Amino acid sequence: MKTWMPGILLPLAALFCAAPLFPQKEEDVKNPLEKDRAAMAAGKKLFAEACGTCHGTTGHGGRGPNLADGKIVQPAKNKQLFDSIRKGVAGTEMPPCSLEDEKIWQLVAFLRDMTANAFETEVPGDAAAGKALFFGKARCAECHMIRGQGGLMGPDLANIGLTRSVEKLREAILQPDAEVDPSFRGVTVVTVDGRKIEGVARNYSNYSIQVVDREGRLHLLERREWRELDWHKKSLMPDNYAQTLSSTEVQDLLAFLSRQSTGSVRRKEEQ
Ligand code: HEC
Ligand code: HEC
């Protein structure tokens, strides 16, 4: 019987022929200064001086793209980052630079540190104490939900460890006004009958607005029902945590938040 042969050979052929079609795993180079604290600090300073005119001193973008949000930096290999900085990006405003290798690796170390998500970062602090603060004294849960527990005025933080870097989390707690999420803008509405409603605006149009207040109540108002609409410039988040929390407490909160992840990535531990 010959008929068995194609049955066996075809899958084998598929195996051998298909293999080279898969992209070869490209070797990356290691950054000799990876995770080196001093190098990251030097890179941060250098970045502000040499790159800030286009990328913003904190990397949030301007003439050049945002490098702080991780969209460009996270998927890029070390080699690509190094080469882009050394040679520039042809056909764009990104210029070549004559910095020595060590300085470029400092910049790469800084870019990596800025964009690493908190979940993958070693975050010192006591996560259990951070959890107690979150749901207790620091009152974060009045506005934020984590796994179904908490308020609705601020964003749900159940996956925040995976989507933000430690630096971003620290900034969110200590300088909430530095960058306010436009989908959680604060608003104060004064109704024609004199009621004052404060909260975050959802679904605003010229004809109506929905406001979620501190108690989590949803107010639906039509244009003819309000007299004044005052958009807050600042975040609704308290801006005095730097004074009301000790640095240990902030660190404990960061340890707790950094562990928050949902979905397929396993939680570091049940917190
Ligand atoms: C004159 C403006 C300018 C300056 C100065 C500048 N950049 Fe850029 N940079 C850009 C622009 C524009 C792009 C987007 C290029 C593109 O469209 O791919 C870019 C892209 C990048 C990228 C992404 C490249 C890639 O591979 O996708 C990195 C990383 C970067 N810049 C880092 C730096 C660093 C570090 C410095 C300082 C040493 C710097 N840039 C200075 C304008 C600038
Ligand atoms: C009075 C309501 C309120 C309280 C209390 C509050 N927050 Fe917020 N928080 C908000 C709002 C609204 C936003 C979104 C607007 C902004 O970006 O500032 C926010 C944003 C954040 C973000 C950024 C989320 C993101 O997607 O990047 C983090 C992290 C955060 N808060 C953590 C905390 C922690 C930790 C506490 C307690 C120490 C806390 N918040 C207390 C209302 C609050």
Ligand 2 centre to CA of 154 (Å) is 6
What's the pLDDT score for residue 26? 67
Candidates 249, 263, 267, 271; CA nearest to 140 is: 249
What's the pLDDT score for residue 51? 97
Query: What are the pLDDT digits (tens) for 213-227?
Result: 988 899 999 999 999
What's the pLDDT score for residue 68? 84
Listed as ranges, residues in the chain with pLDDT below 70 are 1-26, 263-271
Q: Cα(31)–Cα(157) distance, rounded to whole angstroms?
A: 32
What's the pLDDT score for residue 214? 87
- Cα-Cα-Cα-Cα torsion 76, 77, 81, 84, nearest 10 degrees, comes to -90
What's the pLDDT score for residue 3? 45
Query: What are the pLDDT digits (tens) for 102-155?
Result: 999 999 999 998 888 899 888 999 999 999 999 999 999 999 999 999 999 999
- In the numeric block, the tokens 């004044």 are attached to 228
What structural domains and CATH numbers belong to the chain? Answer: 37-115 (1.10.760.10), 127-179+238-258 (1.10.760.10), 182-231 (2.30.30.100)
Asked if residues 142 and 150 have their Cβ atoms less than 8 Å apart, the reply is yes
Ligand nearest to the CA of 88: 1
Asked if residues 55 and 43 have their Cβ atoms less than 8 Å apart, the reply is no
For ligand 1, pick from 31, 45, 49, 54 the residue to mutate: most ligand atoms within 8 Å of CB: 54
Conformational region of residue 145, where left means phi above 0, alpha means psi within -120 to 50, and beta covers everything else? beta
